[in-house]
Each structure stands twice: as C-alpha cells, then as structure tokens.
Amino acid sequence: MHRRHGRLRRKHEGLRAKEDGMRHRPACQQRRAAEARREFEKQRAKIEAELHSERAQNYILAEELVRQTRLLEHTEIARKADEELLRRQQSQCDELRAQRAEAELQLVEFEGDNRRATDRMREELVARVNRCFRGSTRWKIAARDRVTLRELEIRAAALMSGDSWSRRRVAKR
C-alpha cells in the first residue's frame, strides 16, 4: 500500500510540474495550445453533432421497430384467427360431406322403393287395362250378338211378311 501511495504521489507531482511549466510557456506555445483547443472544440462539436444525429436516427429506428413489432403481433393474431376459421370450415365441410353421403344413400333407397312402387302400379294398371279390354271385347261381342240377333229377327219378320221389296232388302244385307 505504501508503494502504491508513493506512485500516486509521484504522478501528482509530475502533473503539477507540467501545469507549472504550462503557465510559464512562451507566447508561441500558448497560441499553438489555443489553436489545439479550438481544433479540439471543433472536433468535439462535430462529434456531438454526429452523436445527436445518431441518437435521432436510433430514436426513429426504435419507433419503426415498435411499429413493425405491433404490426407483426396484429398479423400473428389475424393468422391465428384465419387458421381457426379454416379449421372450423373444414370441420363443417366434413360434416356436410357426411350428410351428403347419408342423403345419397337415402336417395338410392328411396329410388329403389319408388321404382318398386312404380313397377307394382304399372303391373296393376296393365292388369286393369287387360280386364277392361276383356270386358270391352265381351261387351262388343255381346252387343254384336244382340245386333246380329236383332238383324236376324228383322230379316225373319220381313221374310214372313211376304213383301218382295222387303225380301230384296233383307237379301242384300
């Protein structure tokens, strides 16, 4: 510790000697010292201006960084919302596909039932129409038989009446 103390004392004495020497400098040296101080002040002002400019630029960049960070946060929130919406829409789409498949199965089943019902109705209709045709044919035959019987009766009556003109007419028929 004593050694350290001595070193500091010598340093202090050396600075004092320099200071004392500076006071007693000649005018030429004092002018050079004044020029050096002015040059130093110029450099200092220049450095302070650059420092101020860099601080202003840093402030602008910091504001831009905050703005970009907020924009990124909003974009991330929007992206998550879009992903959630997409997930819900895919779920709905899957549900609708399942409903469509079920509806198609029901449609196939309904069409099969409908086809069978249509076939049954067609068969019944054909049977009815055939019965109608048979009935109509029988009716026509019966009607013709009646007409034929009637005609025969008319011819017989005409023949029995003995009129020659009536006989010619009956013969033509």
User: CA 98, CA 120: separation in Å to the nearest integer?
Assistant: 33
User: CA 74, CA 64: separation in Å to the nearest integer?
Assistant: 15
Mean pLDDT, range 90-101, rounded to an integer: 93
Check pLDDT > 60 for residue 1: no
pLDDT of res. 82:
95
Check pLDDT > 90 for residue 130: no
Phi, psi of 42 (to 5 degrees): -60, -50
Q: Give the domain ranges of the chain.
A: 2-172
Token pair in block for residue 137: 């044919």
Task: Using alpha carbons only, give the angle 94, 100, 103 rounded to the nearest 5 degrees.
Answer: 145
Mean pLDDT, range 152-158, rounded to an integer: 74
DSSP SS3 for 51: helix
User: CA 13, CA 5: separation in Å to the nearest integer?
Assistant: 12
pLDDT of res. 161:
75
Mean pLDDT, range 100-116, rounded to an integer: 89
Give the model's confidence band at 114: pLDDT under 50 very low, under 70 low, under 90 confident, else very high: confident
User: CA 113, CA 77: separation in Å to the nearest integer?
Assistant: 53
pLDDT tens digits along 131-143: 777 777 777 777 6
